Structure formats: C-alpha cells, structure tokens
Amino acid sequence: MEKPYVIGMDMGGTNTVFGIVDTRGTVISKSAIKTSTHPDDVNLYINDIYVELSKLIDAAGGIDKIKGIGVGAPNGNYYTGNIEFAPNLPWKGVIPFAKLMAEKFGVPAALTNDANAAAVGEMTYGAAHGMKNFIMITLGTGVGSGIVIDGKVVYGHDGFAGELGHVNVMRNNGRLCGCGKSGCLETYASATGVARSAREILETSTKDSLLRNIPVDIITSKDVYDAAIQGDEVAKEIFNFTGKILGEAIADFVAFSAPEAIVLFGGLTKAGDLILNPIVENMEKNLLPIWKGKVKVLFSDLKEADAAVLGASALAWEL
C-alpha cells in the first residue's frame, strides 16, 4: 500500500520550516526551528529537527506512514544530495545532508536548492500554476532563484544552475557578499541588503526620518517598511533604490530565458507596492523592445514558506 505522506523541509538562513504533506498537496501540519542554533555541528541541528519533526510524524500515524523526505536548502545539489559551500548557512564545506537525514529518520531523503523547491511548489500550487517558463526569485536572508524552462527546473551540468543572487550588479565598489565576491545582487535585494542600504542612505542623507530613532546598526527591513507606510521619505527612497537594482537585474534575466513571469517570494514581498512598483518600472525601462509589456511580475500566491515546503515535498514522492 502506498504510504500517504511525505515530509517537505525548507532550510533558510534564519529558520528551517518543515511539514507533513499528503497526496493532494495539503500541508497537514507544520513546525519550525532556528537554523543556526548549532553553528559548529550539523548533527546537533539534525537532532533538533528530529525532536520537533517527530512530534508531527507521531501525530500523522508514525514513520511507517512517511514515504520520504524532500529538502530545499541553500546551495543544495539535486544530483548529489549535498549542501555545498552555502554562504548563508553556519556549516561550511560539503555537507551530505540528504544522507544524514535518511540515516536519522530511516526513510529515503532527497535535496535540492531551496529556490528550486519554491519554484516547483509555485508551479504546482501557486501563481505559476500552468506556466512552463518562469523565474522564481526568493527574497529573504539572501536572494535565491529557480529557473523553469519548458516546464522543467534548470539544474545545469553540476546541479547548481540558477544562482542569480550572485550575479554581479555593482562592478565598482560593490558590497562584500557572504560568498566572497563583491557586488552580488543578494547584497542589495535581500532583507539584509535593504538594512545595509538603510544604513548607507541614512549616513549620506540630511532628511529627517523615523529610522533615525533606531540605532543604525540594528535597523531591519521591517523597520524600513514600517517607516515607509507612515510616509517616511527616506524609507521610500531605500525601497526605490532596492527596486531599481532588482528591476535592472530582472531585465537581464529575461534576456536569457524569455519567461512568462517573474514570481517573487519571501519576506521582502510583504512591502507590496513599495518594492513592486520600482521593480516593474526599472525592469520595463531596461528590457529589449521585444519583451516590453510581456513579462508579468507576480508575488507568490502561497503562504510564507509553503511554496518551498510543497516543492521540496514533491521530491519525496519520486523516491
């Protein structure tokens, strides 16, 4: 008899979310832990997952009801099941994560890039349902991407295709990225990038701002959003700056895959039109004429983290 459930897991730089998913794509239960509680030992992190996830598994009828585990992780290699040199995770080098999870839980496990997992979830259940050509961009602690062409996720020859967050968008004097390069899109268009922009703009601007009431070294993207919706001009400038860089980069991405849509997912999308309007304006401004007015920019239809959980879970049905 076919086992009725799989586990989908989304590993982010800040939080790890996991859920039990049934054959209809319903997340029947979900929980989360902090990702970086054990920066020196990935096995202790897996122990934490085991403790929390076992509660969900027991409530679903036990491990015998689970067909497998699918994981979406930064720098996750679909071909090998390894997490390799992920700049936003505390464990460096090559981590055989799928193997470790399979051994811990006693069921098969598969792994892919977290943004690729989100793309699969969005294509199956969300804003990209029915689309065969789109790009998913995740705007969280970092910037990830999943590229879908002709209905298939692009993995490349080594499993790492689609690292658009590490495309260089600032050739001269760009910000240092966690990957070791400078000027990566991630350093400008992520939640942490927005906070960095806030610090830089506040230092050079003479305008009054609600953000000046917050110590500059602890400003977050949410602080910028809260100020912007109150009409703060400096906060709006920060979002315009972020949207300009991301919109220009998206125009370049359109040139190589001609997507029907760009789907944006992650915490930064909560800023709504504050971030969407400058993205679309600057994308359109930089597109070749053949694509002007043809590429939609959409926010994910799925609940926060559900796209990646559902997408990762899809891997497990194939095990």
Residues 82-106: tens digit of each pLDDT: 999 888 799 989 999 999 999 999 9
Q: Is 122 exposed, middle or buried (0-12, 13-18, 19+ CB in 10 A)?
A: buried
Chain segment 247-273, per-residue pLDDT in tens? 999 999 999 999 999 999 988 999 999
The rounded distance, in Å, linking the Cα atoms of 194 and 143 is 12
- Region 151-169: mean pLDDT is 94
Domains of the chain: 5-120+305-317 (3.30.420.40), 131-299 (3.30.420.40)
Chain segment 54-72, per-residue pLDDT in tens? 999 999 999 999 999 999 9
- Region 155-175: mean pLDDT is 93
Q: What percent of the chain has pLDDT over 70?
A: 99
Chain segment 29-56, per-residue pLDDT in tens? 999 999 989 998 999 999 999 999 999 9
Please provide the average confidence, as pLDDT, over all residues in the chain.
94
**DSSP calls for the chain:** ----EEEEEEE-SSEEEEEEEETTS-EEEEEEEETTS-TT-HHHHHHHHHHHHHHHHHHTT-GGGEEEEEEEETTB-TTT--EES-TTSSS-SEE-HHHHHHHHHSS-EEEEEHHHHHHHHHHHHSTTTT-SSEEEEEESSSEEEEEEETTEE--TTTS----GGGSBS--SSPPBPTTS-BSBTHHHHSHHHHHHHHHHHHHH--S--GGGGS-GGG--HHHHHHHHTTT-HHHHHHHHHHHHHHHHHHHHHHHHH--SEEEEESGGGGGTHHHHHHHHHHHHHHS-GGGTTT-EEEE-SSPTTHHHHHHHHHHHHT-
pLDDT for the residue numbered 224: 97
Cα three-residue angle 130-131-136, rounded to 5 degrees: 125
**The pLDDT of residue 114 is above 70:** yes
Q: What are φ and ψ of residue 87, in 5° steps? A: -70, -25
Cα three-residue angle 151-263-146, rounded to 5 degrees: 55
pLDDT for the residue numbered 191: 94
pLDDT band at 146 (very low <50, low <70, confident <90, very high): very high
pLDDT for the residue numbered 137: 96
Chain segment 193-239, per-residue pLDDT in tens? 999 999 999 999 999 999 999 998 999 999 999 999 999 999 999 99
pLDDT for the residue numbered 24: 87
**The pLDDT of residue 188 is above 70:** yes
In contact, 22 and 8? CB cutoff 8 Å? no
pLDDT for the residue numbered 1: 57
Q: What are φ and ψ of residue 84, in 5° steps? A: -125, 110
Distance set, CA 203 to CA 225, 231, 239, 301, 318 (Å): 18, 20, 16, 37, 52
In contact, 292 and 284? CB cutoff 8 Å? yes
pLDDT for the residue numbered 267: 87
Q: Are strands 296-299 and 261-265 parallel, antiparallel or unpaired?
A: parallel
pLDDT for the residue numbered 305: 61
